[in-house]
């Protein structure tokens, strides 16, 4: 799959038509066109043929492969800049001349051939592009686009002698189209502004000098300088300097973060005050900001069912209205006494003007795009518009415990020893076994040991050397290993090279190995230790609830979430304590990874209108996140695993972002349905008014272009959602 930029794509109907046409081609395996971002994802072996097919539908369409480069990107943006002045001057001139001509016509000064000599040129100048496109579409067999319909309606008006209306309708159509295109352009610009977090350059250090280069040209290990006010271009570690950095582009948080030497900083953060020298640790393509940008930019290609439905609906809607228009012109004069063909043809032409469903085809993708872009600005990454719809149906939320409801920052709070083992001995045994583990509990044990025995410690315990053999990790239970004592002054000659069989884990591990141990009911994660089949003691590791856990659960209950639960591999007592404190509806403890999957399966609703969210850390919860209707991962400020795994990623790990996600989802959905109901109601009303001869072409132009413009402006409100 490759991504392409589509320039001069100003017609949403054309975008839908191009996508539908390409899907039918043998050399196109899959394709998705997003009108909001003017982009196309396509899997094809012959892009040249694809371009030819696209330009048959939209001749002025320019298709170029998307290339994300830093220094080139700015110039590309300038080339794409919308320049409306020329079109505005032509439109204003046509309107001014028309106003004067209409005044003279109503005063009977313009009549006969003179009126034709004035209104026909006005019509051609204002509607030339429409007429040309309509003619080209006829040659290609496209009879139901807005250009063809507008051309037929206005030419018909000329034929029945409605000269001012024919010219006026085309001029007002031109004004409406101009305003609509301007509004679309501004909406796209606003959406793109949300994604302007990508750094354009890096100050690369070479010898004694610095050079401004594209972030893609910087390699791992290179050193860069970031000046105050500049955006950090790549992930890296601070070598020197201290500053406050703005992380809002990544997390949505406005409070600056203090960073200093040896701290990790991420691409996309803004350096506020100090000069920072950074050693690059990731290539730009692998940086968190690059992954975030790719995710957000491509999210709208995963279309919601609503969007897909109205794209299909648009194909049927226009032919149906055209059919109604045809019958309106033909049947009444045949069956109604005194009905004239000229009167009913005019009514039919009025219906033709309002037969294009542009308001829906344009506004729906723009609204979804705005919702996704607005969420990303708040540090919530949504991987597709389909998930916006799904979030609106959520009735259950299930949380992982560690790192989700709790901080995931463990601390050793108690050591209890048995059977002649000292507290220091069992701590060292645990530290030896856990030295190769990256589990948070293991890290807390190592930290506690290192605090008691720093690097230069010379106590007898630290003089003993060990060799680890037969190391095994047992899922959901703990670790087993053989530990051989080496040579040291603190070990008797007979004990040298003696291998100790060590067990470090939970009660399940002790029971599985028939260890007689003393269970404890203290709150916290309990790590039991056995040496050569003898119970040596236990460690209590404590974790804290996140500061915003209570607030998030409270907000979710207010929003009407019916059921909230927690899945944990920890013991029942800890899970029960946390569940009660937070006011959850239930909890499930002592779960192995596969048990979590089974439990979640039982919680999933068979009702398609009731969705379940699972919230986890995205690292060890991948199967459960994938199983849930919507998987939300706590992003850990740049965790690759988190970004890859879930449907929604919360970049700052704050649970209060979940109610915010639901609010954005509801607002997006609300605007979409406002546009659907408003657009269809107005068009239906004017079809009826047109049939009864109440509405004229002026009103029909409003029903077509005016409604589309209002729908686009309404779609833009999602960008201003607070």
Tell me the mean pLDDT in the region 584-605.
Answer: 89
Grade residue 192 by pLDDT with cuts at 50, 70 and 90: low
pLDDT, averaged across the chain: 81
Tokens encoding 41: 């994802």
What whole-number distance in Å separates Cα of residue 665 and Cα of residue 388?
5
CB 613 within 8 A of CB 394: yes
Q: What is the pLDDT of residue 537?
A: 93
Q: Which one-letter DSSP state was computed for residue 402?
A: I
Task: Name every residue whose Cβ is closer than 8 Å to that of residue 589 and which is 6 or more positions away in sequence.
Answer: 568, 569, 570, 571, 572, 574, 575, 576
Tokens encoding 240: 């020197």
Q: What is the pLDDT of residue 618?
A: 62
For the ranges 137-141, 309-313, 529-533, 572-576, the one whose mean pLDDT is highest: 529-533
Q: What is the pLDDT of residue 197?
A: 66
What is the tens place of the pLDDT at every residue in 451-490?
887 766 666 556 566 778 888 888 778 889 888 865 333 3
Catalytic residues: 400
Comparing 64-68, 125-129, 240-244, 266-270, which segment has the lowest mean pLDDT? Answer: 64-68
CB 198 within 8 A of CB 268: yes
What whole-number distance in Å separates Cα of residue 319 and Cα of residue 253?
50
Strand partners, 34: 39
Of 74, 54, 12, which Cα lies nearest the Cα of 37? 12
Grade residue 662 by pLDDT with cuts at 50, 70 and 90: very high
Cβ neighbours around 644 below 10 Å, total: 13
Comparing 19-23, 115-119, 260-264, 497-501, which segment has the lowest mean pLDDT? Answer: 497-501
Of 382, 447, 422, which Cα lies nearest the Cα of 663? 382
Tell me the mean pLDDT in the region 12-39.
Answer: 82
What is the tens place of the pLDDT at every residue in 639-660?
666 667 788 988 888 899 999 9
Cβ neighbours around 117 below 10 Å, total: 10
Domains of the chain as residue ranges with CATH: 2-66 (3.30.70.100), 85-192+299-368+667-720 (no CATH), 202-297 (2.70.150.10), 380-406+545-651 (3.40.50.1000), 411-542 (3.40.1110.10)
Q: What is the pLDDT of residue 488?
A: 36
Residue at token pair 């007898």: 460
Sign of CA dihedral 648, 649, 655, 660: negative
What whole-number distance in Å separates Cα of residue 191 and Cα of residue 376?
10
What whole-number distance in Å separates Cα of residue 175 and Cα of residue 171?
6
Cβ neighbours around 26 below 10 Å, total: 8
What is the tens place of the pLDDT at every residue in 36-58?
677 888 999 889 999 888 888 77
Q: What is the pLDDT of residue 255?
A: 76
Of 440, 407, 389, 366, which Cα lies nearest the Cα of 648? 389
CB 65 within 8 A of CB 3: yes
CA distances (Å), 187 to each of 184, 510, 610, in order?
5, 62, 32
Does position 386 have pLDDT exceeding 80, yes or no?
A: yes
HEC-encoded secondary structure of 192-257: HHHCCCCCCCEEEEECCEEEEECHHHCCCCCEEEECCCCECCCCEEEEECCEEEECHHHHCCCCCE
At 190, give phi and psi (nearest 5°): -65, -40
What whole-number distance in Å separates Cα of residue 100 and Cα of residue 105?
9
What whole-number distance in Å separates Cα of residue 698 and Cα of residue 157?
12
What whole-number distance in Å separates Cα of residue 354 and Cα of residue 272?
53
What whole-number distance in Å separates Cα of residue 654 and Cα of residue 381?
13
What is the tens place of the pLDDT at every residue in 546-558?
888 999 999 999 9
CA-CA-CA-CA dihedral for 462, 464, 470, 476, to nearest 10: -30
Comparing 9-18, 154-163, 611-620, 650-659, which segment has the lowest mean pLDDT? Answer: 9-18
Burial class, 323, CB count within 10 angstroms (exposed 0-12 / middle 13-18 / buried 19+): exposed
Residue at token pair 């059919």: 323
What 3-state class would DSSP assign to 600?
A: helix
Maximum separation of any 2 CA atoms in the chain, in Å: 124
Does position 544 have pLDDT exceeding 60, yes or no?
A: yes
Who wins on pLDDT, 413 or 658? 658
Residue at token pair 């979430």: 561
Sign of CA dihedral 24, 25, 30, 36: negative
């Amino acid at each position: 799959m490759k991504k392409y930029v589509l320039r001069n794509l100003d017609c949403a109907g054309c975008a839908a038509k191009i996508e539908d046409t390409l899907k039918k081609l043998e050399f196109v395996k899959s394709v998705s066109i997003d009108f909001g971002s003017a982009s196309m994802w396509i899997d094809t072996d012959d892009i040249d043929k694809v371009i030819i097919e696209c330009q048959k539908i939209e001749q002025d369409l320019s298709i170029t492969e998307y290339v994300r480069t830093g220094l080139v990107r700015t110039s590309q943006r300038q080339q794409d800049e919308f320049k409306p002045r020329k079109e505005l001057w032509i439109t204003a001139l046509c309107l001014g001349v028309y106003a004067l001509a209409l005044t003279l016509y109503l005063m009977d000064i313009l009549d006969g051939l003179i009126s034709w000599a004035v209104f026909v040129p006005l019509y051609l100048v204002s509607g030339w592009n429409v007429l040309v496109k309509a003619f080209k579409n006829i040659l290609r067999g496209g009879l139901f686009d807005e250009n063809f319909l507008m051309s037929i309606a206005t030419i018909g008006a000329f034929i029945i002698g409605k000269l001012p209306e024919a010219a006026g309708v085309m001029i007002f159509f031109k004004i409406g189209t101009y305003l609509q295109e301007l509004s679309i352009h501004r909406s796209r610009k606003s959406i793109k502004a949300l994604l302007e977090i990508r750094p354009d350059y890096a100050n690369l250090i070479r010898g004694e000098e610095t050079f401004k280069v594209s972030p893609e040209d910087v390699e791992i290990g290179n050193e860069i300088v970031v000046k105050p006010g500049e955006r950090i271009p790549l992930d890296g570690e601070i070598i020197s300097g201290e500053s406050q950095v703005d992380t809002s582009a990544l997390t949505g948080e406005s409070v600056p973060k203090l960073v200093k030497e040896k701290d990790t900083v991420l691409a996309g953060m803004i350096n506020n005050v100090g000069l920072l020298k950074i050693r690059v640790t990731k290539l730009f393509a692998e940086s968190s900001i690059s992954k975030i940008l790719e995710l957000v930019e491509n999210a709208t290609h995963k279309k919601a069912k609503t969007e897909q439905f109205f794209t299909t609906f648009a194909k049927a809607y226009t032919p149906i209205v055209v059919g109604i228009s045809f019958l309106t012109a033909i049947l009444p004069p045949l069956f109604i006494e005194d009905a004239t063909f000229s009167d009913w043809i005019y009514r039919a032409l009025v219906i033709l003007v309002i037969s294009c469903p542009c308001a829906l085809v344009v506004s729906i993708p723009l609204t979804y795009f705005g919702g996704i872009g607005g969420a990303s600005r708040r540090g919530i990454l949504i991987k597709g518009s389909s998930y916006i719809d799904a979030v609106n149906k959520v009735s259950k939320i299930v949380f992982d415990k560690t790192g989700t409801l709790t901080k995931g920052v463990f601390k050793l709070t108690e050591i209890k020893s048995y059977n002649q083992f000292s507290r220091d001995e069992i701590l060292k045994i645990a530290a030896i076994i856990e030295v190769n583990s990256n589990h948070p509990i293991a890290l807390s044990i190592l930290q506690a040991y290192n605090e008691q025995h720093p690097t230069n410690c010379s106590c007898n315990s630290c003089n003993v050397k060990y060799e680890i053999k037969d190391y095994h990790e047992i899922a959901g239970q703990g670790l087993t290993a053989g530990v051989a004592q080496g040579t040291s002054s603190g070990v008797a000659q007979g004990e040298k090279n003696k291998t100790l069989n060590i067990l470090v884990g939970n009660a399940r591990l002790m029971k599985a190995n028939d260890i007689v141990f003393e269970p404890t009911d203290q709150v916290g994660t309990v790590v039991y230790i056995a040496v050569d089949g003898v119970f040596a003691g236990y460690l209590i590791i404590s974790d804290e609830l996140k500061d915003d856990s209570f607030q998030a659960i409270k907000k979710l209950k207010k929003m009407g979430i019916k059921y909230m639960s927690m899945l944990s591999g920890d013991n029942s007592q800890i899970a029960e304590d946390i569940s009660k404190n937070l006011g959850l509806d239930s909890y499930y403890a002592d779960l192995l990874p596969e048990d979590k999957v089974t439990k979640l399966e039982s919680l999933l609703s068979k009702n398609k209108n009731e969705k379940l969210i699972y919230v986890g850390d995205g690292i060890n919860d991948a199967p459960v996140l994938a199983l849930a209707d919507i998987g939300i991962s706590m992003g850990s400020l740049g965790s690759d695993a988190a970004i890859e795994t879930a449907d929604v990623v919360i970049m700052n790990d704050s649970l209060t972002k979940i109610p915010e996600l639901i609010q954005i989802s509801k607002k997006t959905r609300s605007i979409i349905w406002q546009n659907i109901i408003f657009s269809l109601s107005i068009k239906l009303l004017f079809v009826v008014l047109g049939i009864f001869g109440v509405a004229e072409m002026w009103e029909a132009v409003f029903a077509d272009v005016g409604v589309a413009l209002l729908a686009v402006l309404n779609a833009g409100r999602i960008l201003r959602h607070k």
